[in-house]
Amino acid sequence: MSTILIIEQILNGLQFGIMLFLMAAGLTLIFGVMGLINLAHGSLYMIGAFAAAAVAGATGSFALALIAALAAAALAGAIVEIVVIRRLYAAAHLDQVLATFALILVFSEGTRWVFGSFPLFLDVPSYLSGPITLPGGIQYPLYRLALILIGLLVAFALWWLTVRTRLGVQIRAGENDREMIAALGVDISKLYTIVFALGAALAGLAGALVGAIQSVQVGMGEPVLILAFVVIVIGGIGSIKGAFIGAILVGLTDTLGGIFLPQFFKLFMEAGAATQTGSALASMAVYVLMSLVLIWRPTGLFGARS
C-alpha cells in the first residue's frame, strides 16, 4: 500500500465528508432553530440535482446549473415550509417523522412522474475536468478538489453568517428562546421560512455538485440523508461545528474503511473471506462509529440539550 494511495483516499474521504456537511448543516440548523426532524431533506438534495441536470442539459452551462439547483431547492424548501412544515413545529416527533416521510413519497414519486425512472447525467464542466498534479506528484481529479474547496468556502460563509450578521444573531437567538425574539419584534415565521430555505439551498447545492460525479436519479437523496443524520447525531444536533467535525469523521471512516478493512483482514484471513468480512464491516463502520459516540456521549460530541 503506497503513500499516494493513502493520500488519495484521505482526499476522497474529505470530499465525501464535506458534501455530507452541506446536507448536515441544513438539517442541524433546521433542528436547532425550529426543533424539527426533516426526513424530506434528501428530497431537496434530489431536487437540486434534477434542476441542475435539466438546466445543464438545456443551456450547457455548469454555473447556471448550480444557480438553478440553489434556486429550485430553496424555492421548494420555502413552499414546503409554508404549506406543511409550519404546522409541525409544535407537534410531537412522531408526527414530524411521518409528515416528512409522506413528503418523501410525494417528492420521489412526483420526480419519477416528471423525469421518468432513468437516471439523468450531469457532466463535469471542461474547465474542472481532468486530473491535477498535487505537490509530491499525486494525480487527483480537479473536480473533486474543487468540491472540497467549495464546501470549505460554504462552511466559512455559514460561520460568517451565523456569527457576524444580523440574520445570524436572530437565528442563534431563535435557537435559545423563540418567544423572546418574537416579543422583540422579529418576524419569527419569516425567519423560519428563511432558515428552512437556506438549509434546502445547501442540500440542493450538494445534490448538484455530487450529481456530476454520480448519476442523478430518484431515491438518490435517502442514503445521503441517513448519513447526514448520522453526522448530526455524532456532532450533536443543532451544532454546526459538530456537523462539520461529524461530517469529516463520517466521510473519512466510510471511505477509508471501505479500502483498508478488507486489507486489514487479509493479514490473518484468506483473501476471499477477508474481502467479504472487510467490506461487510466497512459498510457498517459509520453506524458503529455513531453507536460508540452515542454510548459515550448520548447527546453527541457538541450537543448541549439532554
User: What residue ranges bind other proteins (CB under 8 A)?
Assistant: 31, 37, 39, 84, 87-88, 91-95, 97-99, 101-106, 108-110, 112-113, 222, 226, 229-230, 233, 237, 276, 279-280, 283-284, 287-288, 290-291, 294-295, 298-300
The span from the CA of 306 to the CA of 304, in Å, is 7
Q: Which is nearer to other proteins, 61 or 117 (CB)?
A: 117
Q: Which is nearer to other proteins, 73 or 218 (CB)?
A: 218
The span from the CA of 23 to the CA of 221, in Å, is 10
CB of 187 to other proteins, least distance (A): 23
Q: Which is nearer to other proteins, 68 or 76 (CB)?
A: 76
CB of 74 to other proteins, least distance (A): 21
CB of 205 to other proteins, least distance (A): 24
Contact (CB, 8 A) for 249 and 234:
yes
CB of 104 to other proteins, least distance (A): 7
The span from the CA of 60 to the CA of 26, in Å, is 28
Q: Which is nearer to other proteins, 8 or 254 (CB)?
A: 254
CB of 101 to other proteins, least distance (A): 5
| Cell output for 233 | 447525531
Provide CB contacts within 8 A for 163, sequence distance 6+.
Answer: none
The span from the CA of 22 to the CA of 113, in Å, is 27
The span from the CA of 145 to the CA of 164, in Å, is 28
Q: Which is nearer to other proteins, 186 or 226 (CB)?
A: 226
Q: What is the dihedral of CA 250, 253, 259, 262, to 10 degrees?
A: -130
